[in-house]
Amino acid sequence: MAGLHQSLSQSQSLAPHIRQSLEILQASTLELNQLVQQSIQFNPVLDDDSESISLQELEKEQSDENKDAVSQENYEDLRELAIIENRSVGTASDAQEKRDYMMNSLVGAKTLQQHLLDQLDISLARDEVRDAARLLVGDINQKGYLESPLSQLAVIFLLPFELLEEARNLLQRFDPVGVAAQDLKECLLIQLERKQLQDSLEYEIVRLHMDALARKHFSQIAKATKTSEEDVKDAARHIAMLDPAPGSSFDGTNNPIVLPDLCFDKDDDGQWHASLTNEYLPKIKINDTYKSMLSTGRDKNLQNYLRRQIQEGRYLIKALDQRQETIIAIGEEIILKQIDFLEKGISHLHPLTMNDIADKIGIHATTVSRAVHAKYVRTPHGVIELRRFFSSGYTKKSGETVSNSGVRDTLQKIIEGEDKTKPLSDSAIEKLLKEKGLKVARRTIAKYREQLGILPSHLRKGF
């Protein structure tokens, strides 16, 4: 006889307005514009306006709301009025026309991150795994690779390594195949596994002989795998048909419009400051017509509906304000840490972690991660993604610290200045970096070179 068992489990579910606030914080400017326009469409009390309602006004309205009643006869009349008005109040300004023109002119290409988040929303994974996966999505670069090792992300996000590993495995089952890999080797192995080719020669070559494959040492591979050289060449052709950069078809650089959220500028006294651009950022307010409807009336259905819609509008406005406050606070802290970058260029970026910023402004590192996702800043050295300011780094013999981005920039300049008839090997580059006070391992140089899309020395040789 089957027994009855009782189990107790604990789960955490975010309130809808908290979830909306996190979504707003993580959204890019274009995504945020679309999100707010949808809210305006479905919430009749919201209007697009040249100036958003202040938090002080919201607090005053909240205290006055208990005194208000409803002046409309029934709920359907309110819906009809909303349709007739067609959200015309506050939408005829030049700023709104500018936003509409920009949005209507854009080709609505979906980003890789949004494509992954859409799949994540319909996945059946546990809530904590999906939340961890959302954080990982923010670390995926344009090629579709994870920028940072899981061990480093576990420290940044203060999450168990095993949870992040489960979240990464979830993302690796998504489209495009090969996404969320740590490097080229893992990317190709994922694609072969999806084709159920774990027992194939292609899989063995990728797993064990990638360096030899890159150098086209087919005879060496044939000997190691105990197969013919012709079989190895056939396998190499099949491997070449795999996608080394599964995220490239979603490459955001194909979209010519990048809207910076921040500017880093120097004032007349030589001091650097962060400022919000607010370019194309939706500004909304509670519609005066509907607020006035709360002066008289007795329809309880309408009263409850209006209260609910106004409350949702308040949550949205507060979330937008909090988003901006968080971004500007992060920007000010980045300036304090990266003066050398602003004055001298990207090779002078210092190591900086999200925990460093989080501790300074009193928020969680995961909040910093969401806030810098898909956000850009206009600097004297061009428009740069905020995430680029966060990386670990190296300490020179002099005691000066240099970020990974700074090392990559130095590496790229070394290769750009090399003799093309005698390109530098990774060992030679290692020695040159050492002369500059940077001790970087050859395998790390190879990884950075791959991230920059630079071929090995024997394939860079010119004549």
Q: Which of 451, 379, 385 is nearest to 412 (CA)?
A: 451
Same fold flag, 112-179 and 393-460: yes
* Cis peptide bond upstream of 149, omega within 30: no
pLDDT in tens, 346-402: 777 888 888 889 999 999 888 898 899 888 898 988 888 888 888 766 555 555 556
* pLDDT recorded at residue 94: 46
* pLDDT recorded at residue 289: 74
- Map out the domains of the chain as residue ranges: 16-106+281-315, 112-179, 186-245, 262-280+324-388, 393-460
pLDDT interval class at 14 (50, 70, 90): low
Whose structure tokens read 């304000």?
321
The angle subtended at Cα 217 by Cα 215 and Cα 218, nearest 5°, is 130
If one looks up domain 393-460 in CATH, what number appears? 1.10.10.60
Q: Which residue has the higher pLDDT, 312 or 66?
A: 312
What one-character-per-residue DSSP string does 372-410 give?
HTT-EEEETTEEEEGGGG-B-EEE-TTS-EEEHHHHHHH
Instruction: Work out the number of other CB atoms within 10 angstroms of the CB of residue 461.
Output: 13
**Mean pLDDT computed over 81-95:** 39
Q: Which of 369, 348, 352, 361 is nearest to 413 (CA)?
A: 348
Go through 441-450 and write b for each residue having 16 or more CB atoms within 10 A of its CB, e for each that does not: eeebbbbbbb
The CATH class of 112-179 is: mainly alpha
pLDDT in tens, 253-305: 444 456 788 999 988 888 999 999 876 677 788 887 777 776 655 677 777 88
pLDDT in tens, 212-237: 888 889 999 999 999 999 999 999 98
pLDDT interval class at 409 (50, 70, 90): confident
Kindly report the backbone phi and psi dihedral angles of residue 73, in degrees, each rounded to the nearest multiple of 5, phi listed first.
Answer: -70, -40
Coil, helix or strand at residue 329: helix
Burial of 158 (0-12, 13-18, 19+ CB in 10 A): exposed
pLDDT interval class at 109 (50, 70, 90): low
